[in-house]
Structure 1
Amino acid sequence: MLVPLTRQKFNQLIPLIATGPQYKYYWGKFPDFLQRLLISVVIAAVYVLVRLFAMPGFGPILFVLGVIGAFYWLWGPVFWASMRNAKCRRYKYSGFFRGRVLDWWITDELIGKQETVDNKGDLVIVENREKRINLEVGDETGFTAQLRAPLRVEHKVIARGQKVEMLVMSNRPDLSKIEEITDIYIPSRDLWVSDYPYLRRDYFPEVSRRLRDRPSERPRRRRPPEEQKGRRVEEWE
């Protein structure tokens, strides 16, 4: 099932400003924090040096820029999460998708390499790998999509045939070509599968419940653009 959403509803589900889970995602681990802190220290040092040689009239402007830069360690996650949301919100149309788990499998993915020296003085390259779950979902219309996310303990309850829900995005009003998908929600387990938490998880289950309470309707087949000409697509608010 695919139900087109109004722009207002889409903006509520994926807000422009970062949510709490999105901020936590970009806050990262301790090395990420240290990197942001180092950038803040460098900016603060540059501000002090520039302030010594700047013309008097530029003092207030430099002060504001210096304070903003010095607190990059704090507001950096908000900026990067908001930029990612903005990239997602550039799509003109969206829809609520409900389907089922078609298949899932686990892969071992290389996420980085680290050079170190062993006790003999030889250079050793250590590969950092992470197990990921690959989830394939689809519906009665033949539409399928795949999502890859870090493997979590709670993912062990995922099974083929479970109902799943998510948002899809497109630049076509009939949603005949899906450009992007969000994180996946499994309502029977109240479980989220995602890498980045696009959706407002405090609000999406309510949208899901309201759609489940609607009268049942036949799944809509996505037609080619030439067949969609002159066809009105009803949006859900």
Structure 2
Amino acid sequence: MLIPLTREKFDQLIPLIGTGPQYKYYWGNFSKLLQRLLISVVAAAVVLLLRFVLGLNFGPLVFVLGLVSAFYWLWGPVFQASVRNNKCRRYKYCGFFRGRVMDIWITEELVGKQETVNGKGELVIVENREKRINLEVGDETGFTAEYQAPLQVAYKAVTRGQIAEMLVLSNRADLSRIEEITDIYIPNRNIWISDYPYLQRDFFIEVGKRLRDDDDDEYDRPRRRRRPQEDTRRNTRRRNDDWSTEEDY
């Protein structure tokens, strides 16, 4: 099912300012922290250059710029999360989607490259690859969408036929054309499948509870497994019912 939500709920589900989990996402590893520290040092040095070397004095403005620049390493993740949130908030309409997991498969994606030198002094390019879970979700109307996220051990509990909930975004009031989808929630396992935590999760779960009605009993009935010949749309998908192995984790 797909139920339109008000703009008020939209703004509550995807906040203007980055949340704690979003801040943690953009905080990153030690390398990311060093990058932000370097930016802070360079920015603060530029402010000092304008003030003491070039003799430009703008009073309190220089102090504020220097303070903001020096602490970029701390507030940078909030800024990055807020920018990403606002890209979704530019859509005019949103809807609550509840369907089922139709298919699951695992891929390895190239996430970056590093240049290094081997023992012979030769330049070597090392590819960094990451295992990702891919989900196809859909409902009885024929609507389907695909979502990809970094693989986690907890995702092993996700199987075909389980209920899947998410927020869909559109610029059309009738939601006839979906432009973007958010992280996916599997309620019967309390699992979030997410690359970036767009949603205020507690509020999203509460919205889902309020939208349930008597027709939801249909979603609790087991769904017929698709026959093997029905899984021929994508050669990279697993062909058996056990879509994952221990090696995947």
Same fold (TM over 0.5): yes
Give the secondary structure class of the aligned counterpart of 1:3.
strand
| 1:11 corresponds to 2:11 | yes
Give the secondary structure class of the aligned counterpart of 2:81.
helix
Aligned residues: 217
Q: Does structure 2 retain, via aligned residues, the 8 Å contact 1:117–1:123?
A: yes
Matched residue, 1:227: none
Matched residue, 2:90: 90
Matches within 5 A, 1:162-177: 162-177=162-177
Matched residue, 2:100: 100
Matched residue, 2:73: 73
| 1:50 corresponds to 2:50 | yes
Q: Does structure 2 retain, via aligned residues, the 8 Å contact 1:17–1:82?
A: yes
Q: Does structure 2 retain, via aligned residues, the 8 Å contact 1:134–1:146?
A: yes
Matched residue, 2:215: 216
Q: Does structure 2 retain, via aligned residues, the 8 Å contact 1:100–1:163?
A: yes
Q: Distance in 1 between matches of 2:56 and 2:72?
A: 25
Q: Does structure 1 retain, via aligned residues, the 8 Å contact 2:44–2:70?
A: yes
> What is the root-mean-square deviation in Å for CA atoms of aligned residues?
1.5
Bigger relative contact order (CA 8 A; separation at least 6):
1
Q: Distance in 2 between matches of 1:9 and 1:47?
A: 41
Q: Does structure 2 retain, via aligned residues, the 8 Å contact 1:171–1:179?
A: yes
Letter matched to residue 81 of structure 1: A
Q: Distance in 2 between matches of 1:197 and 1:84?
A: 11
Q: CA deviation at 1:45?
A: 1.2
| 1:117 corresponds to 2:123 | no
Q: Distance in 2 between matches of 1:191 and 1:81?
A: 22
Q: Distance in 1 between matches of 2:7 and 2:151?
A: 32
Q: Does structure 2 retain, via aligned residues, the 8 Å contact 1:27–1:77?
A: yes
What do the CA deviations read for 1:24-74 (whole angstroms, capped 9, x no partner)? 111111111100000001111111111112344x13211111111111101
Matched residue, 1:135: 135
Gaps of 5+ in 1: 220-237
Matched residue, 2:199: 199
Q: Does structure 2 retain, via aligned residues, the 8 Å contact 1:51–1:59?
A: no
Q: Does structure 2 retain, via aligned residues, the 8 Å contact 1:94–1:168?
A: yes
Matches within 5 A, 1:27-38: 27-38=27-38
